[in-house]
């Protein structure tokens, strides 16, 4: 695959929200292309899965391309492969094959299900640290356990400062009433030079975030029609979408101190397709 680095991309924000250190958008892979679902149904994509590194077929793509197209080896879907691919490209010691993290390397994954979680859990060694959690509700204390799974609120993490080399979140932050409080907490628990790799619903054609709901004196105020996403922890309930992010997210996170890059992916040979295959890399200075 070819890497192409573009010129720095400047978010079209009002002067008051301009930043001195602006994010980059980098295109990785072949030219952007739309999937023909009918063709994919007849001729599934074939290639190598970035999660399990097995030769695989990617089947079952739907109109929601990000959440479909499962690997017939590990069960990963498009969005999980996007995150795994950027991990392999941006962590030079990972490369191909299994996940050989160096001694002392520490990861915090904000979910406890899915193919990528299973692969990272299997790769954990005595000299590495892999933490994972879910959010089970305000009745639980951060750092407590519900069954065998740790409970954490990203808006008030229980971890000490500078605990992790890598934090992973995949379509989590849009479900928080205060996502930028969560970004501040993640910055706190990252080691100097550490990275937060994440996906969120994002429209980079929008200058500002689309805030669909907010909290006012403890009550939820809706600014748009209610929107829910599926939730593996609560499959019968779904989970509310508070925010769909725009360019404002990149500017605000840069102001916090992150170095921001947006990786726009298109790699059919890895089972990665669609118009919104974007992984964000937020790096802590150091």
The structure's pTM equals 0.86
- pLDDT tens figures, 105-147: 999 999 999 999 999 999 888 899 999 999 999 999 999 999 9
**pLDDT surpassing 70 at residue 17:** no
Q: Other C-beta atoms within 10 Å of 271: how many?
A: 29
Spatial distance between the Cα atoms of 267 and 201, rounded to a whole number of angstroms = 19
Q: Going by DSSP bridges, is the β-strand pair 190-199/164-170 parallel, antiparallel, or unpaired?
A: parallel
Phi, psi of 272 (to 5 degrees): -115, 110
Spatial distance between the Cα atoms of 255 and 191, rounded to a whole number of angstroms = 18
Spatial distance between the Cα atoms of 3 and 40, rounded to a whole number of angstroms = 26
Coil/strand/helix, residue 14: coil
CATH architecture under which domain 3-8+24-283 falls: 3-Layer(aba) Sandwich (3.40)
**pLDDT surpassing 60 at residue 18:** no
First CA to last CA distance, the chain: 29
pLDDT band at 97 (very low <50, low <70, confident <90, very high): low
Domain ranges of the chain: 3-8+24-283
pLDDT at residue 22, rounded to an integer: 52
Q: How many Å separate Cα 227 from the centre of its chain? A: 19
pLDDT band at 7 (very low <50, low <70, confident <90, very high): very low
pLDDT at residue 236, rounded to an integer: 61
Spatial distance between the Cα atoms of 192 and 32, rounded to a whole number of angstroms = 34
pLDDT band at 8 (very low <50, low <70, confident <90, very high): very low
pLDDT at residue 102, rounded to an integer: 87
């Amino acid at each position: 695959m070819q890497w192409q680095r573009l010129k720095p991309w400047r978010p079209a924000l009002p002067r008051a929200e301009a930043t001195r250190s602006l994010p980059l958008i980098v295109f990785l892979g072949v030219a952007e292309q739309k999937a023909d679902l009918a063709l994919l149904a007849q001729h599934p994509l074939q290639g190598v899965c970035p999660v399990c590194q097995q030769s695989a077929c990617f089947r079952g793509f739907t109109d929601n391309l990000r959440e479909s197209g499962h690997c017939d080896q590990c069960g990963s879907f498009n969005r999980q492969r996007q995150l795994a691919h950027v991990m392999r490209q941006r962590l030079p010691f990972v490369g191909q094959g299994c996940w050989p993290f160096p001694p002392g390397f520490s990861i915090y994954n904000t979910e406890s299900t899915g193919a990528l979680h299973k692969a990272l859990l299997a790769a954990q060694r005595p000299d590495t640290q892999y933490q994972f959690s879910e959010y089970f509700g305000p009745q639980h204390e951060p750092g407590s356990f519900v069954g065998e799974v740790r409970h954490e609120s990203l808006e008030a993490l229980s971890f000490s400062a500078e605990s992790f080399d890598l934090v992973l979140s995949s379509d989590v932050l849009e479900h928080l009433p205060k996502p930028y409080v969560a970004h501040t907490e993640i910055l706190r628990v990252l080691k100097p030079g550490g990275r937060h790799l994440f996906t969120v619903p994002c429209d980079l054609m929008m200058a500002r975030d689309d805030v669909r709901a907010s909290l006012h004196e403890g009550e939820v105020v809706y600014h748009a029609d209610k929107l829910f996403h599926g939730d593996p922890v609560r499959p019968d309930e779904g989970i509310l979408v508070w925010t769909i992010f725009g360019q404002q997210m990149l500017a605000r996170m840069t102001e916090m101190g992150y170095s921001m890059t947006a990786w726009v992916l298109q790699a059919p040979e890895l089972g990665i397709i669609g118009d919104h295959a974007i992984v964000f890399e937020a790096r802590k200075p150091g």
